[in-house]
Structures are given as C-alpha cells and as structure tokens.
Amino acid sequence: MHVVVAGSSGFIGSALVPELRAHGHTVRTLVRRAPQRPDEIRWDPAAGRLDARDLAGVDAVVDLAGVNAGSRLLTEARKREVVASRVDSTGLLARTLASLDDGPRALLQASGIGAYGDRGDDVLDEQEPLGRTFFADVVRQWEAAAAPAADAGVRVVLLRTGIVLGPSGGALGRLLPLIRLGVGGRLGSGRQFWPWLTLVDEVRAIEHLLTTPVSGPVNLVTRADRNADVVRALAAAHHRPAAVPVPAWALRTVLRDFSSEVLGSIRAEPAVLTATGFRPVHPDLAAAAAWVAAGR
C-alpha cells in the first residue's frame, strides 16, 4: 500500500513508519518544514495548507498529529493548543480527502480512550457515549473534524488509543524512571482502571486496520487493569518495589485537568478490534511489563 503518515516523529509515528516500510508499504510523511527527501510532503495545518495533488494515488492516510497533552501544564492557552493541533490537522486532511476522486480511500484518525470520561467499573465498548471531561470534549471535537472525509465515502477509522506502554516516552515517560529507581507506586487509590496496550501492539493494530473493512471508533487497547496492578507489574519486571504511592490531591494540584487521565477509571475493551481477528503479541500485564523492562 501507499500510505501517508502525519505525526510521524511522535512516540507512535516513529515506531509505525519503519514497521510499515519493513512490511513492504510505501510510506510518505507530512512535515511542517521544507521537504528534505522525496518521501516528505509539506503541509501547514494551522494555515490550512496542503496540496491535494500530493495525496493523489495514495491508498490511506494515518493521522497521528497533535501536541503531547501531558508534556506541559494544561493552562487555558495550552488547552487551546491541544484542541487546535488536533482539530486543524484532522479537518485539513478530511477536507482534502473529500475533494479528491483519486485520493486515499481510508483515513485512520488518531483519537483517545479518554473519550469515555471517568466511568468507574463500567465495561466500555465502542457503543458507549462520550464523557464530559476536558479530554472527552477534545475527542468530541477531534473526531467530528474527520466528518467531511466520512461524508465523502472515505473509510474513517477513529483510533481511540489507550495507555501505550513502551520502554521510553509515551504515557510511561515520567513513571518508568521512578519505577526503575524503586520509588514508584500506585497513583491515587490505584483502583482506577487503566486501558493499555504495548507500543508493539499499537503499531500492529494500526497496520491491521489499514486493510480491515471497519469504520468508526475502535478501542485500541489490549485490556484494562487497575492502576495499582499495572504499576506493580512494571515494578516486578524491573525487580523493584512499588511502595511509594502518589496521593490523588498531589496529582490534581500538579497536573490539573490532565489528572483526569491519570486518576479517571476507563474500563475499555477492544470489542471491534477483537471481532476483526486481531490478537495482541502482549496479551497480559506480565508479558507487557517484561517487554517494557527488556527495553525493546
């Protein structure tokens, strides 16, 4: 397949692009600077600039663009940046795809498992309504921006990605160093469900969905386990204790609105993904934690 990837330099994109190429796909990437190689396409989401001719003849687009919401304090200005970086890029791609007769017939659009908000112990599949947290509202706007492509007959898959476990970066970027030092522990009560999958299975799932005839929201998770169990498994795989809990009040004070992503409980299940026949390489916490600890 001929695939164009937006957000190729991020945590997921930087793993996805080489994997697609290794499996024989032709991959071009969208960049905001002047292209330096033939496989780069220049675009400017904030200004609404993307030459539709650059997507002619492409089979699919994978849009992973968007600033890292957890990398800085969520001030009001940062919140606007989080929303705009997602809505602008998605909207530009969706409108461009809708304008093409010979353009990509599939758009795999990044989204987030925070779509459902804090739902306690409720089991959540893709049919559940969206929540009312800040991040659920982000998802609501983000996914809506893809509507022009879907309305034009493009197969749009909304990748509601859970907590991606990897040896470096991603959701564990701040937690893993503490675990490796032996000072990690549950966050808040530790009873909140964390829906997770490894970076390996995130990449495999995206590639799988490039050719699988499904559309709409897809929960990209392997399973959901309680936060205390996730932290305990990671600590055990690193041969460290997990005995230093972080109080909920401290997380709310430091993280503000982002604390809902850490303390909220989302017991999501991969109903659509499982129905397509996808099976994860790391199906349980022990396997996932061992892979993370091995650093591969």
Give me the pLDDT at residue 69, please. 81
DSSP E strands in 115-181: the ranges are: 123-124, 155-161, 163-165
Residue 135 identity: F
Please provide the DSSP assignment of 167-198 as one string: SSSGGGTTHHHHHHHT----BTTS-SEEEEEE
Give me the pLDDT at residue 171, please. 76
Give me the pLDDT at residue 70, please. 73
Give me the pLDDT at residue 175, please. 85
Residues 124 and 279: their CA atoms lie apart, in Å, by 19
Give me the pLDDT at residue 249, please. 84
Residue 183 has pLDDT above 90, yes or no: no
Task: Supply the DSSP symbol for 246.
Answer: B
Residue 245 structure tokens: 């809990």
Across the range 16-31, mean pLDDT stands at 98
Residue 89 structure tokens: 């890029």
Number of Cβ atoms within 10 Å of the Cβ of 269: 17
pLDDT tens-digit series, residues 240-293: 998 888 888 888 877 777 777 888 999 999 999 999 999 999 999 999 999 999
Across the range 55-77, mean pLDDT stands at 89
Q: Which residues share a beta bridge with 268?
A: 124
Across the range 58-80, mean pLDDT stands at 88
Across the range 195-216, mean pLDDT stands at 97
3-state class (DSSP) for residue 133: coil
List of domains in the chain:
2-294 (3.40.50.720)
Residue 296 has pLDDT above 70, yes or no: no
C-beta separation of 103 from 52 below 8 A: yes
Torsion of CA 243, 122, 195, 126, to 10 degrees: -170
C-beta separation of 107 from 63 below 8 A: yes
Q: What integer best gives the mean pLDDT of the chain?
A: 94
Give me the pLDDT at residue 261, please. 81
Residues 285 and 194: their CA atoms lie apart, in Å, by 11
Residue 13 has pLDDT above 70, yes or no: yes
Distance of CA 205 to the CA centre of its chain: 11
Give me the pLDDT at residue 170, please. 77
Across the range 92-109, mean pLDDT stands at 96
Give me the pLDDT at residue 218, please. 98
pLDDT tens-digit series, residues 115-143: 999 999 999 999 999 999 999 999 999 99
Residue 7 has pLDDT above 90, yes or no: yes
Give me the pLDDT at residue 262, please. 86
Q: Please, is 265 exposed, middle or buried when counting C-beta atoms within 10 Å of its C-beta (0-12, 13-18, 19+)?
A: buried
Give me the residue label for tokens 């793993």.
15
Percent of the chain with pLDDT over 90: 80
